[in-house]
Amino acid sequence: MARSLNLAEFLFPCQDASGDSYPTDSAGGVVEGDDSYRIITIGEGTAVGLGVRSHELGVAAQCARRLARAAGSGVYWSSVGFPDGRLRSAPAITSSAATFARIDVVILMIGITDTLRMTSRSSWRRLIAVTVDQLAGHLASDGQVLVAEIPPMDNAGSISRAARLASGHQARVLNRITREVVATRPRVSSVAFPASLHEGLRLPESRQSSYGRMYAEWGAALATAVTTQPISRPVPTPVATTATDAA
């Protein structure tokens, strides 16, 4: 059954049965540059580097590098996982205003585990609304909350066709609810899973390379979403020029 499957096995089946793996290096870094953005990815395993050996290959770092190139600025990035990978455990992270102090963009990556666990529609609607409202409340007036939509789960994993169809339907329902919720909130938006990755979820390659590629393309899509709603960058205070300086 789908609900007993771990995330790694669901997304990228492979020969070994090592289960979910996560990087052990620092879950944060910086892309050097001026007027730096500060971004954080939070949520389930995909937010914190599921399947790769280094956070530098995870979605937060990949998004940061694409954003730095697109915006011509630096980016500080970090990632934090929810305790059980489900939206119900979000308050353990989202209730801490200190975690989001000075953050410009929060990227919420959630829903695969909730899809596998068949979280009810009413619970998802309530929880996603509470979560994005709490996050937006921690940010500055021009801060953004991006919700990464759930991948097309009817086209992934090594489970039965019936289980894939059920999971795919559940994911589409939860995504629709998410879009309805964020549509009523001015600083919150959802970002579709990249179409280029829909078939790639079933590539018969190593888990490491599959996840690295997925995070690169997913990060690029998220970076594009950030740049479509530019955040005000600090304007340096002009330094007064004296007669001596002018000479």
Q: What is the pLDDT of residue 207?
A: 53
Q: Enter the tokens of residue 104.
A: 């410009």
Q: Enter the tokens of residue 11.
A: 């997304």
Q: What is the pLDDT of residue 246?
A: 36
Q: What is the pLDDT of residue 13?
A: 45
Q: Rounded CA gap, 132 and 146, in Å?
A: 9
Q: Report the b/e string of 36-47 with b at 16+ CB within 10 A.
A: bbbbbbbbbbbb
Hey, what amino acid is at 119? T
Q: Rounded CA gap, 106 and 109, in Å?
A: 10
**In Å, how far are 24, 107, 231, 233 from 35, measured between CA atoms?**
29, 20, 11, 6
User: What pTM, to 2 d.p., does this model score?
Assistant: 0.84
Packing angle of the helix pair 59-71, 207-227 (nearest 10 deg): 40
Distance, CA of 25 to chain centre: 19
Name the residue ranges covered by the structural domains of the chain: 2-246
Q: Which CATH class is domain 2-246?
A: alpha beta
Q: Enter the tokens of residue 31.
A: 């892309």
What does the pLDDT profile of the chain (247 residues) look like in tens digits?
333 445 554 554 433 334 578 999 999 999 999 989 999 999 999 999 999 999 999 999 999 999 999 999 999 999 999 999 999 999 999 999 999 989 999 999 999 999 989 999 999 999 999 999 999 999 999 999 999 999 988 866 666 788 888 999 999 999 999 999 999 999 999 999 998 887 655 544 445 558 899 999 999 999 999 998 755 544 333 334 333 333 3
